[in-house]
Amino acid sequence: MRIYEVADYQEMSRCAANLISAQVLLNPRSVLGLATGSTPVGIYSQLIEWYRKGDLSFAEVQTVNLDEYHGLAPDHPQSYRNFMQQNLFDHIDILPQQTHVPNGLAKDAAKECARYEALIASLGGIDLQLLGLGHNGHIGFNEPAAAFAKETHLVELTESTIEANTRFFESRESMPRQAFTMGIKTILGAKKILLAVSGKEKAEAVYRSFAGPVEPGVPCSILQFHPDVTLVGDAPALSKLKAAGVRICRK
């Protein structure tokens, strides 16, 4: 595992985007696993800038997203499909049919989960998976639990996640209570994993994920078992790891 400390969110975004662009330049037909939320916005903005400068093309890239709210149409303002269109896809040369997000309106959840797993397999798996980190250690919508969820599944959102995401909706009542998410086994199947974190409020989750035991109560801790993980974080987010003496490189 490689851990890089950067100065701030802007530098974290640039560093993570650089690793993604290197993946695409080395393999223009890469399959990228993508994340949503506040953390990757700066990363996507940087990738768009490099695309507009002519430094990068996504014409042959395939993407698969981590998750999607159950019950939201693709064009709903708070759907993750809409998030990806607004923050990345509409601004680069990727082909629409090569961008994949779980179908939030699927009536048969089990069938949709099986379809998404089969899709990822048909693409040859994920070459690089981008992840953010929740305050409780969740990745995707894999919440703390008694056991690690394996493959793509429909999850009941925890109260802490609902509380954290309600600000994006008109009211608490209008926020979905379920979401489709890749499972831990699916995420670990990626050849490379890139975890981006920023802010002091993530310091405890980072510490528990990489300086504590591997346990389903801290879903991100499972990444300790992956052979190729890169963590890019700003100084506040990595503060507890540094205090514990974990080896960190300055980027």
| Active site (catalytic) residues | 67, 136, 138, 143
The dihedral formed by the CA atoms of 221, 224, 228 and 231, expressed in degrees to the nearest 10 = 50
90, HSE (Cβ side, Cα atoms, 13 Å): 7
CB 233 within 8 A of CB 197: yes
Question: How big is the chain, counted in residues?
Answer: 251
Q: Where are the alpha helices (DSSP H) in the chain?
A: 9-26, 41-52, 80-87, 109-122, 159-165, 184-188, 203-210, 235-243
Instruction: Write out the DSSP string of 137-205.
Output: S-BTTB-S-SS---SSEEEEPPHHHHHHHGGGSSSGGGS-SEEEE--HHHHHTSSEEEEEE-SGGGHHH
Provide the β-strand partners of residue 6. 234
The dihedral formed by the CA atoms of 249, 17, 136 and 186, expressed in degrees to the nearest 10 = -110
- Write phi, then psi, for 42 (nearest 5 degrees): -65, -35
Residues 6+ apart with CB under 8 A from 82: 74, 75, 76
Question: Token pair for residue 173?
Answer: 């009542």
